[in-house]
Structure 1
């Protein structure tokens, strides 16, 4: 097994190929993007930012790192690896993008569990510079990029897999950068995901959205699987870390957050669906 950084990067300003030159990535038009000391590259132009510091902030990233490294979501990571490397698969080379990689937990798990005969070229992309910085500090093998799913800095038809975990899929962009037959591995929260926590922090629960059964244009559904288990959070810190890495931290009112802060422990339902979606 060989793990290498994905290198078919594209200039976020004109879409042309980027090449490494010293400590920067450059295109033929002269656009240059410095490689940070930690090894990542910032490919999110200022004009494409919706805020000065988009994505998860430093504290949220730290909470996510503590929570995931404690193994609370390991069953999801295991199921994800099985979806990327289905039984009987014989691919010798796979180029894989984690679109919304956070601090890189799932991509690191994937690399550790790849078949021995498979060569993996990996890229982790997130809009949060704090997330990408954390990922780069923990593993030097993938290419770590600050960027946006809405404008992936990747050359057309160069990827075999795209991971999108609890994120924001942009299917038109995913179709552009996937090779024919390439797959999206998409993980979404099920209707009961963290229900017990939500019942505590919200006055009432909204009915969950019904999952769409049809595949996006240009794609076909291959299969789906369910990851469901009870998870016990043993202390205040693990509950706070889980809350900090979800949108509920900002959606809940002060009273709901105060109720969560009083908890000494909590058992929640983890409910996630993993879909394999193939580019036609």
Structure 2
């Protein structure tokens, strides 16, 4: 397969195209963004930050990396990779298929996609996250001589990507900004969203919360600028052995902050937990 880092970056300050010059990305207005020694670039200006260190902490990123590398979400990654590869196979002959993971974390799903891609497929990949710790972890796992993805610190609210430059956007348990996703996707491009189903991590939630909220309506709301293409449910059970694995799962979810101290303590007391994984993989086509 042919996999190259994504090139069509845009300046986060004025939206102009960025061009690689040595070890920096520069726009025509003179804004310059250095590539870190680990191989990533920070395109999140101070004025777009809501805190000094936004996004997941270093500890949360490490927990997610341990959990995902243990293979607990492998069926999810397989469903996502299959969907993207199928869509990529519909491209014009010789066309490179570009894909952004918007909220890429430490890069697990892009790495799985790269491994799943057939030899005939030419991919251009970019992983973006608002957490510098997540992007740093992703870049550290890449080959510095031949990186397979462009790793960028940035915000979904202001994607540093040129308009109509992408064939696909992934949003995995993330924070979708539909207007930005629509802007950067080509006509016919696919937005793939991964959403938690009603039974996702139910057993853990029953432990950490006094009561569970009613499930949201399963009716799909079509985002503006898109049409529904396909949906797939991925549901299975996993068993976590050891307090660390259970703590890692909790640390990589919003439940870490939503649960009370008592709820977190009940989870911390466990040394074994069987839990349901229940997600919906939804594909939207840009029209």
Cα distance in 2 for partners of 1:121, 1:43 equals 19
> Which residue in 2 is equivalent to 1:208?
215
Q: Specify which of 257, 266, 282 is matched with residue 275 of structure 1.
A: 282
Deviations 1:15-44 (A, max 9, x none): 000011111100010000010000000000
Length-normalised TM-score, structure 2: 0.96
Deviates more, 1:149-158 or 1:209-218: 209-218
Moved over 4 A (4+): none
Cα distance in 1 for partners of 2:22, 2:218 equals 47
Q: Which runs of 5+ in 2 are unaligned?
A: none
Task: Check whether the contact 2:88–2:121 (CA below 8 A) recurs between aligned residues.
Answer: no
Does residue 256 of structure 1 match 2:263? yes
> Which residue in 1 is equivalent to 2:184?
177
Cα distance in 2 for partners of 1:35, 1:236 equals 38
Q: Specify which of 114, 129, 132 is matched with residue 129 of structure 1.
A: 132
SS of 2:183 mapped into structure 1: helix
Q: How many residues are matched?
A: 280
The alpha carbon displacement at 1:93 in A equals 2.1
Task: Check whether the contact 1:214–1:221 (CA below 8 A) recurs between aligned residues.
Answer: no
Q: Which runs of 5+ in 1 are unaligned?
A: none
Cα distance in 1 for partners of 2:87, 2:160 equals 31
> Which residue in 2 is equivalent to 1:58?
58
What is the Cα-based RMSD across aligned positions, in Å?
Answer: 1.1
Cα distance in 1 for partners of 2:134, 2:194 equals 19
Q: 1:209 to 1:103 in 2, by over 3 A?
A: same
Task: Check whether the contact 2:89–2:121 (CA below 8 A) recurs between aligned residues.
Answer: no
SS of 2:195 mapped into structure 1: strand
Length-normalised TM-score, structure 1: 0.98
Cα distance in 2 for partners of 1:54, 1:208 equals 29
SS of 1:95 mapped into structure 2: strand
